[in-house]
Amino acid sequence: MWECDDAKLERVRTLMAERDLDALVVRAPDNVLYLTNFWGMKGYDACVFPREGEPVLLCLEASEEDAAHMSWTSDVRLLQGYAPDDPRPVPARTLDAALAAAKDYGRVGLELSMGTQASDRMVGEPTTFTKAWFDAWPGAQDAMSVLVPARSIKTAQEIERLRLANEICAAAMEHVRGEIKVGMKESEVAAIWQGFVHGQGTGWDGRSSLRLASRSSGPGAASRRSLQRATCRSSRANRRCSRSGSAPTATGRPHQAPLHRRAASRLPRARRGPVGVYNSAIDYCEPAAEMAALDVLVRNGIEELGYPGQPSHPICHGVGARAHEPPYPHQAGGGTIEAGMVFAIEPVLLEGGGGLRVEDNFLITETGAEKLSSFPDGVVFV
């Protein structure tokens, strides 16, 4: 199990003190994971995290052994998945337990700006918390005012986990590169990637367990579209990894192979422009740079190439306990890039369903952006 990340938890408590919050009550799986190191089975779990004192983890009885192995808190309170005297769904019992654990705290923070996010572990399960959860603390503040800035800057342990996730992904990409063939369906390529990550990535270096969702470029892993000669595609994936048998803890997203200057020089002239925009974005990402200007830089560069209004999605986002998380550089937003942030930079996707896209994970250091994946430079046409 990973040792308790005291630096991370102390940062959270410092931010809580600045906002005069006595406790955070969280139920989004990635926030429970962030504060306790526990990754739940279905998303019925919660954490009461006080500014002072021991956090409380609420989890299913079926997860008792997992919680004992991975959780950083010793105060684990179990929830019945089936209660003979209570026909309500599990989240109702989670609420009762959370109210009991938080009863002595005055100013409480809830995930008010996360909407109705449910578990991303068990797709299709009824894990969305109801309005009753939010009504139970009528004077609650927004816990995300603490968790967003805390999660935006990674600790040394978080960076180590992200490096591990990228290492596993790079190995999987190398494996796929050796197996991919003309005429193979995109879904088959995605399955090869998934098979390697689950089979080889679990227990990687004696440390990793995995949660993965994969899709190929274009329509996705369900696509029956076949690969054609002179077409380059790669599986794209979100996955988290940690010690063997413990909670998934970091997400890396080298979805498509990154394309940098050496590879760019080998591209046909018509394709070098988008890669130049991508490289300018990487060069821009250094401490104190304005996030809004990064978005403008990329979009203006693509417009100058003749593709106004592209890309149709954010050009960059944070990566950590979740595959997509703040910060999100946006031309109408604010904030500056800081050392310790980890971004997935993905600026280029040309209109009409086809074009060129490059993406990878980057750690912002004092001297600029460091690519985390060891997978060699490459390119994806979509």
Does residue 148 have a pLDDT over 90?
A: yes
pLDDT at 236: 40
Give the pLDDT score at 349: 64
* DSSP notation for 133-154: HHHTSTT-EETHHHHHHHHHS-
pLDDT at 41: 82
- pLDDT higher for 154 or 209? 154
For residue 115, pLDDT over 60 is answered with no
Mean pLDDT, the chain, as a whole number? Answer: 82
* 8-state DSSP, 263: H
Residue 356 has pLDDT above 90, yes or no: no
pLDDT for the residue 245: 31
**Nearest-angstrom CA–CA distance, 270 and 371:** 25
State the pLDDT at residue 252. 36
Class of domain 156-381: alpha beta
Backbone CA torsion sign across 238, 277, 167, 235? positive
Q: Which residue has the higher pLDDT, 160 or 382?
A: 160
The predicted pLDDT at position 25 comes to: 98
**Residue among 101, 50, 43 at smallest CA distance from 76:** 101
Q: Is residue 305 over pLDDT 70?
A: yes
Q: Quick one: pLDDT at residue 142?
A: 97
- What was the pLDDT predicted at 311? 84
Structural domain boundaries of the chain?
6-152, 156-381
Q: Is the pLDDT of residue 379 over 50?
A: no
Q: What is the pTM of this model?
A: 0.84
| 234 vs 351: which has the higher pLDDT | 351
pLDDT digits (tens, 9 = 90+) for 123-139: 556 677 889 999 999 99
How far CA 287 is from CA of 281, 335, 338, 339, 369, in Å, comes to 13, 11, 5, 6, 9
Give the pLDDT confidence of 210-249 residue by residue, as tens digits.
554 444 444 444 455 555 544 433 334 333 333 323 333 3
What does the pLDDT read at residue 240?
A: 37
End-to-end C-alpha distance for the chain, whole angstroms: 40
Percent above pLDDT 90 for the chain: 56
pLDDT, tens digit, for every residue of 308-339?
Answer: 888 888 899 999 988 888 999 999 999 999 99
Q: Which two tokens stand for residue 135?
A: 């009504």
| 381 or 61, greater pLDDT | 61
Tell me which of 42 and 141 has the higher pLDDT.
Answer: 141
User: Which pLDDT band holds residue 358 (cuts at 50, 70, 90)?
Assistant: confident
**Into which CATH architecture does domain 6-152 fall?**
3-Layer(aba) Sandwich (3.40)
Backbone angles phi, psi at 217, to 5 degrees: -65, 155
Residue 207 has pLDDT above 50, yes or no: yes
- Residues above pLDDT 70, as percent of the chain: 75
Q: What is the pLDDT of residues 48-76, one digit of tens each?
A: 999 999 999 999 999 999 999 999 999 99
